[in-house]
Structure 1
């Protein structure tokens, strides 16, 4: 009888245990384009930035407000010509962007620290600091020299995608007409080298055929750092339900984005603003503020996306239903075109947790989706490398 009463008491205690708050989870985002802001004259990653006059969506103040514990800061390089000069220029840029990430974040040793392993991320989080992984969006800067992957690995990069918005020397892009029908011969070797180094393969932006081939060839799970589900919105940048299930079956994860929940409204005025935005670090503080004012004015009349927070949550719930909670994560494409009414920047992240709770997801489910699944994939890549 005493044992039964003891068990009943334990059950009551467990039932009454408070649910975790959003900030109690290890919250990571797999695709932060924020480094494009790091070189801006007169700008600080730790400062307060008024959304009316500054387009940045991620900074240390907002990380505190939205309890974003960290993520992957992207070395993004624009596509250029597939020739020796194009590769050399891109490599110089990527090296500079990597150095800029290091220099900017190292200025805040009491607030953020660099991670290259899942264990690092957990240790840094326990210490009360933000977590900074590095990623490479578009492997174009490598040219045809795959030994350069080792250099970027040594620079701390642990996540990389082969391609961006246009076909390159490694793979076909989801946004271009097929050239290789998936991976090029060099792209197949790129997959092997990524596996050998223990770097996670990012399949966002890759064509369906390139995704299929990477999934088949890779010895470790794939990650889609900022993609959504085609079953909820039909667009080539999104992954169809069948492929999401195949990704999950091989242990991978899809990090749901706020982009391409609708068609992109990219008229001439917006395209011109985007072109200036991608080079915002070259603008004076006055020109930066003018860009922000024009951007916000256009948002009021011609939004980039015909979507909002409700549409985003519908996409998230669809992807969870297809993939399962063990294979979903978050990569909203902050500072790279992401953000929607109701989820304009990372300070809104607690709303996602609230909505997932309302949909019936548990603390264990949320812990997986906010950070656990990402770290599991990082660990799997490192483990696969150690066996080769």
Structure 2
């Protein structure tokens, strides 16, 4: 899609937007980026959707609002869309815990639907790769839905059908703590990978045609997801362990195995260093996860305290240069057909130099400078994700 706002900004430098070598014209990276189909596989922005006095259609500033993504900035960064996340905090593995989580996940799913419908002039829901390309051609932003943490399903796998019918096309079994389906990368090794129910979860995901997301899964769980799935899997927001040795990150050997089976790793901005989760930051994160229940004044105070803490205790000891070094290494290891992007916007992502979604053209510029073709860069921004989505069975949902 050609983004009108971005192209108008580029018009003033149109004469400089291409250089002529013989008969070939080479567009500047910002213009190239604007013309690509660009997706992000993990958008935690729905936690902002119920905030009092806040709207997705308004432009928000990082200095006065913690949100990293809104419709105006999607256009600034030429982000055409992505997977909006139904995230549910891990709770007790009890019938009561499951029931509470299911009610929350249903409400969050409905909230995503209502917000997208409210702004239907700018953005629309997508279920398939074909939908994404059609909406892009129509000049609409694209809204897929994903589940982060299948904990709300409890022990009832038939609920996957319900969420499929609600539009979910990607889901991960686990989050930051081990649950009934799998060991978490940062949790206890209870199952040595997937539980028996987790293996049934894989089969049901394949039957329905929902992409399996292995981010947050332990190494053993990743190995079993890769082995058991009939179709390619994805990591929606993960970093390389060679960039920083953390259990949340994927090692290069497993990236090669993922690529060999047709999957894709979407590169995140998180855990490129240890997360500086001081008591002060932990308190603010606890509030942030419930920002939807705050008054506008409370939201503003949270933002003020967060930004003041950033000045003395940055959350991550990494920046854009570190990020691009990791991206380039991931491409070298996995290949251009198996890399994508999921920065974890509004879920802890963002680094100095890539603070919000408007910075995405810088990534394309750096990939161009590294010698990657426009076609290969667009594969990484969207083609690989849509290929994995389209590969999920001949008769999904049946």
| 2:221 is equivalent to residue 200 of structure 1 | no
Which residue pairs with 2:11 in the alignment?
none
Q: Is the Cα contact below 8 Å between 1:53 and 1:290 reproduced in 2?
A: no
Which residue pairs with 2:377 in the alignment?
366
Which residue pairs with 1:27 in the alignment?
38
Which residue pairs with 1:97 in the alignment?
108
Secondary structure of the structure 2 residue equivalent to 1:16: strand
Which residue pairs with 1:345 in the alignment?
356
* Aligned Cα root-mean-square deviation (Å): 1.3
Q: How many residues align?
A: 376
For residues 65-107 of structure 1, the C-alpha deviation after alignment (integer angstroms, 9 at most, x for no partner) is: 0000000000000000000000000000000000000001101
Secondary structure of the structure 1 residue equivalent to 2:292: helix
Within-5 A mapping of 1:42-191:
42-191=53-202
Which whole-Å CA distance do the structure 2 matches of 1:240 and 1:340 have between them? 22
Q: Is the Cα contact below 8 Å between 1:58 and 1:335 reproduced in 2?
A: yes
Which whole-Å CA distance do the structure 2 matches of 1:360 and 1:294 have between them? 42
Within-5 A mapping of 1:322-333:
322-333=333-344
Which whole-Å CA distance do the structure 2 matches of 1:152 and 1:103 have between them? 16
Secondary structure of the structure 2 residue equivalent to 1:225: strand
Which residue pairs with 2:274 in the alignment?
263
Which whole-Å CA distance do the structure 1 matches of 2:205 and 2:160 have between them? 8
| 2:9 is equivalent to residue 16 of structure 1 | no
Q: Which runs of 4+ in 1 moved over 2 A?
A: 15-20, 382-386
Which residue pairs with 1:218 in the alignment?
229
> Bigger CA drift: 222-231 or 48-57?
48-57
Which residue pairs with 1:308 in the alignment?
319
Which whole-Å CA distance do the structure 2 matches of 1:174 and 1:221 have between them? 20
| 2:381 is equivalent to residue 378 of structure 1 | no
Q: CA deviation at 1:382?
A: 3.9
Which residue pairs with 2:296 in the alignment?
285
Q: Is the Cα contact below 8 Å between 1:70 and 1:132 reproduced in 2?
A: yes
Q: CA deviation at 1:133?
A: 0.1
> Bigger CA drift: 48-57 or 354-363?
48-57
Q: Is the Cα contact below 8 Å between 1:29 and 1:71 reproduced in 2?
A: yes
Structure 2 gaps of 5+ residues are: 1-20
Structure 1 gaps of 5+ residues are: 1-10
Which whole-Å CA distance do the structure 2 matches of 1:158 and 1:317 have between them? 28
Q: CA deviation at 1:383?
A: 3.3
| 2:252 is equivalent to residue 246 of structure 1 | no
Which whole-Å CA distance do the structure 2 matches of 1:114 and 1:105 have between them? 7
Q: Is the Cα contact below 8 Å between 2:32 and 2:374 reproduced in 1?
A: no
Secondary structure of the structure 1 residue equivalent to 2:340: strand
For residues 207-261 of structure 1, the C-alpha deviation after alignment (integer angstroms, 9 at most, x for no partner) is: 0000000100000001000001111211101100000000000000000000000
Which whole-Å CA distance do the structure 2 matches of 1:282 and 1:23 have between them? 36
Which whole-Å CA distance do the structure 2 matches of 1:12 and 1:97 have between them? 55
Which whole-Å CA distance do the structure 2 matches of 1:33 and 1:111 have between them? 19
Q: CA deviation at 1:384?
A: 7.2
Which whole-Å CA distance do the structure 2 matches of 1:162 and 1:343 have between them? 29
Which whole-Å CA distance do the structure 1 matches of 2:311 and 2:388 have between them? 39
Which whole-Å CA distance do the structure 2 matches of 1:377 and 1:260 have between them? 25
Which residue pairs with 2:52 in the alignment?
41
Which whole-Å CA distance do the structure 1 matches of 2:319 and 2:250 have between them? 20
Q: CA deviation at 1:385?
A: 4.2
